[in-house]
Amino acid sequence: MIAIVDYDAGNIKSVEKALVYIGEEVVLTRDKDTILGADGVVLPGVGAFGEAMDRLNAYGLSDVLREVAKRNIPLLGICLGQQLLFDESEETPGVKGLGILKGKIKRIPDTGLKIPHIGWNNLQFPNKGRLFEGIPEDSYVYFVHSYYLESDDPKIVTASCEYGCTVQASVECGNIFATQFHPEKSSDTGLKILENFVGIVKNKQV
């Protein structure tokens, strides 16, 4: 069973539908015991960094997610869910992220391209991770974001794309996985990424 963390994030239902489509048993929940008892956990996210952290803290979910990381339960952050795993964001200075991984979220620089970055972009694999098994380099996925990750450790970055800067589009560190893009909106490539995460969950490959 995969628990999708319910903290009023906007893309929860689409993530649920995608996982159900590939045959997974899922539950939307903010119950601590349910999350910690799950085989895998998904942290979705759409919106502002500070508001999302406020909700996670208000629901008592920040410490639960840190415990998920400690217990080696596979955890997948999606879009804002990737950003929340890190220390801080330029979007809301002074607000602390989950701090599960080390790095900062920065605003996409103004280079004449539209911000937010909305639409399809192709991926490169600087350190190809397990989420991308069977997926060729230059595959296209769907993005909606104005901020991007700058990880302290480039070795955990498994996918990137270019949009006015190098966007660190996915990370993998032990049992922690995350994507800046939306696999649930990325057609067959996105479904394959979710299937790969489910395979990791089922095989306990962390």
Report how far residue 178's alpha carbon sits from residue 129's, in angstroms, rounded to the nearest whole number.
11
- Based on the residue annotation, tell me whether 117 is a catalytic residue of this protein: no
- Based on the residue annotation, tell me whether 184 is a catalytic residue of this protein: yes
Report how far residue 130's alpha carbon sits from residue 177's, in angstroms, rounded to the nearest whole number.
9
Of the residues 24, 145, 182, 195, only one is catalytic, namely 182
- Based on the residue annotation, tell me whether 182 is a catalytic residue of this protein: yes
Report how far residue 80's alpha carbon sits from residue 93's, in angstroms, rounded to the nearest whole number.
16
114: helix, strand or coil: coil
Of the residues 16, 24, 172, 184, only one is catalytic, namely 184
User: Going by DSSP bridges, is the β-strand pair 103-107/117-122 parallel, antiparallel, or unpaired?
Assistant: unpaired
User: Is 9:52 a contact under the CB 8 Å cutoff?
Assistant: yes
Report how far residue 75's alpha carbon sits from residue 94's, in angstroms, rounded to the nearest whole number.
25
Given its phi and psi angles, is residue 164 left (phi above 0), alpha (psi -120 to 50 degrees) or beta?
Answer: left
Of the residues 79, 145, 172, 173, only one is catalytic, namely 79
Which residues are known catalytic residues?
A: 79, 182, 184
